[in-house]
Chain A
Amino acid sequence: MKIHEYQAKSLLKKYDVPVQEGLAINDMKYFDDVISVLKEKGISQFVVKSQIHAGGRGKGKVYSKENRDELVVEGGVKFIGSDSEKGKEYAAKLLGNILVTHQTGGDGKEVQTLFITEGIDYRKELYIGILLDRTISKNVIMASTEGGVEIEKVAEETPEKIIKVWIDPSVGLLSYQARELAFGLGLEGNVNKNFIKFITNLYRAYEGLDASLLEINPMVITEDDNVIALDAKVTLDDNSFYRHKDYPELKDENEEDPLELEAAKYNLNYIKLDGNVGCMVNGAGLAMGTMDLIKLAGGSPANFLDVGGTATPDTVENGFKIILSDKNVKAILINIFGGIVRCDRVATGVVQAAKNINITVPVVVRLQGTNADEAKKILDESGLNLISATTLEEAAEKVTESLSKN
């Protein structure tokens, strides 16, 4: 699960990682209060930061929500100095409007939260990232002197500028490794010492939080030699939620597709795509394979939907509802491999669900495995507009056929 910068920073603070101070607002009426609270803390210059789940906010463009062609302001993050009135004007332009960055795609994302933070004078920007190195099943800390730049770009153009340290799970991050990173980044004196504290706590946070990605870009060095996380990107491991009871609260539903949220309520694993053929499949791998098959059949997948191992009448009915809420869908392919779940039962479920819902697009149903022949019979004799198929190849052909008729 992705979380916002302001949430990430509050989690990091619990592990004594120095972060840029700030407060989040979701309504302009809180702006003045936040400024006075920050001023009481001795902060005299400010930064306004849009909170969306995408990078490149600083270089993004803000468009009006009402009129998507109207450019409201350039940049979703700005240093506003000590003039809080000017900051208020800028903040008002962000909140409720659409921020488009290179990571959001053309649709952009609505800015619903702003993070008002202290403005920090710094003399150096660095990069720190912690994640799993899947090739050796160990965590790796990556550091680079090229802060503020996308790490993918650094990796491609100047890979020698990335220093890596792999963590042995039985002993954790060792002091010599922290020193290796510090000296590798060319840090000396007090900065060196402060960095070692910083990275040690940051790794402790990564482990303690069950993070699957922790990226500080940039991590800055201030005039007085402090090391501070200016930005923070944290992705939390969804599998760890059972031991972090507070994590579900961190989910920002505004960042999710409404159909995906709806599907989650039914325990369906659904991801919306922008194609014209909806699909419902049991199992993630087969679901991906089915999406690929739709593409080869001349269509384009409208979604990923894994209904799980059982595919009961209820899940099938809910799946139909979700898929049909997407108006781009011109045909549906149901692909169930009945192993332990019997195909005739699934077929009965499909027929029952189809009777309950007004289905206006052709539905190709491919059931294979246990009792597939009985299943086909049930579908064919249902009197409903269901096109049955037995092999995957046949299913693809029938999808192509249905699309050409449209």
Chain B
Amino acid sequence: MSILVNKKTKVVVQGITGSEGSFHASQMIEYGTNVVAGVTPGKGGSLFQDKVPVFNSVKDAVEATSADASVIFVPASFAADAIIEAADAGINVIVCITEGIPTKDMISVYDYVKNKNTDTHKVRFIGPNCPGIITPGECKIGIMPGFIHKKGRVGVISRSGTLTYEAVWQLTQLGIGQSTCIGIGGDPVIGTRFIDAVQLFNEDKDTDAIVMIGEIGGSAEEEAAYYIKKNVKKPVIGFIAGRTAPPGRRMGHAGAIISGGKGTADEKIKVMKECGIIMVDSPADIGITAKNALDKIAKKSLVKTAKPKTAKTVSSSKKSK
């Protein structure tokens, strides 16, 4: 019914006693996420909000609670260490919300986490500088507002935070629910890329369509587009933010920059269109475009199932003539 996280996911919050960590931990618990533990070195043995046990290390938390997902709210200077700690403790899904981690640190972390993968143990690292991941109605790991989501069958992948909320809200308002929404983050080095998330949604039998929200900088959208062209039969709806962004300027996100004439919105849009992705011009039309695409597949399947009947009626009407 989703990718990566669901109602069975057991979450540990790294940095649970910090201001960001404690606020969002409560929000997650309120949403119904199964938050089983928190980690703050030195505060092991205490309880968060009188119910969630706090540990000194992720390893301790995993041993005591069998947590399998982690969300990181520690400051940028400690974040690289926190991600690796989670990976070493055997966590499967690591979500790092922290913004402002130096690229040099992320290059090492990316490599380290990747090398943790074996045939039997898969580590999925999401972020950093991202809103997190949510399977509506089941599990929210991150900082997104829960109420804008609705359980359903569209997968959403995005590099941005509020722009994702916008797209999700448009979908929900049109009655279209989401299987899972994943914010992959706006940094130049990220754990889960578009292509990885697209692959997961493609394999998920409960996802009917994919919405992909990209932005200027890098070529991750193009990379995913070529994969989609080759492997994905489900409709993919795309939007790229930053058509009006000037070259050479960092547009808020560390990774949102057109450098050396590369990574422009027009270039991405062109490739994505060529690969069969339904591209949306205006950010106001993401929801409606997804709806139209879903209606189209609904009609197709209707036509398929209805075909024999129509054939009969046609032939019988012929006969009567």
Q: Which residues of A contact B (CB under 8 A)?
A: 132, 134-135, 137-139, 151-152, 168-170, 207, 210, 212, 237-240, 242-243, 269, 271, 273, 275, 281-296, 300-301, 304, 306, 309, 337-340, 368-370, 391-393, 395-396
Q: Which residues of B contact A (CB under 8 A)?
A: 27, 76-77, 100-104, 106-108, 110-112, 143-145, 147-148, 158-166, 169-170, 186, 188-189, 213, 215-216, 218-220, 223, 239, 241-246, 249-256, 260-261, 265, 281-285
Given A134-B219, A237-B102, A288-B242, A293 and B108 contact (CB-CB distance below 8 Å): no
Q: Is A169 a contact of B107 with CB atoms below 8 Å?
A: yes
Instruction: Identify which of A134, A207, A281 contacts B220 (C-beta below 8 A).
Output: A134
Q: Is A137 a contact of B220 with CB atoms below 8 Å?
A: no
Q: Is A137 a contact of B111 with CB atoms below 8 Å?
A: yes
Q: Is B219 a contact of A337 with CB atoms below 8 Å?
A: no
A191 shortest CB reach to chain B, Å: 29
Q: Is B282 a contact of A283 with CB atoms below 8 Å?
A: no
Given contacts A237-B104, A337-B169, 12 further A-B contacts (CB under 8 A): A134-B219, A170-B108, A207-B104, A239-B101, A271-B246, A284-B251, A285-B215, A288-B244, A289-B239, A291-B242, A295-B243, A339-B162
Chain B residue with the shortest CB-CB distance to A391: B284
Q: Name 17 interchain pairs, CB-CB below 8 A, sorted by A.
A: A132-B103, A132-B189, A135-B218, A137-B111, A138-B107, A169-B107, A207-B104, A210-B103, A282-B162, A284-B252, A288-B215, A288-B252, A289-B239, A293-B282, A293-B284, A339-B145, A340-B145
Q: Is A134 a contact of B245 with CB atoms below 8 Å?
A: no
Q: Is A292 a contact of B242 with CB atoms below 8 Å?
A: yes
Residues of A within 8 A of B158 (CB): 285
Most buried by A among B158, B163, B218, B261: B163
Q: Is B284 a contact of A301 with CB atoms below 8 Å?
A: no
Residues of A within 8 A of B110 (CB): 137, 169
A293–B285 alpha-carbon span in the complex (Å): 10
Residues of A within 8 A of B254 (CB): 238-239
Residues of A within 8 A of B245 (CB): 288, 291, 304
A271–B216 alpha-carbon span in the complex (Å): 15
Residues of B within 8 A of A301 (CB): 244
Residues of A within 8 A of B253 (CB): 284-285
Instruction: Identify which of A152, A237, A242, A396 contacts B282 (C-beta below 8 A).
Output: A396
Given A135-B219, A239-B76, A286-B166, A304 and B251 contact (CB-CB distance below 8 Å): yes
Residues of A within 8 A of B260 (CB): 151-152
A369–B146 alpha-carbon span in the complex (Å): 11
A172 shortest CB reach to chain B, Å: 11
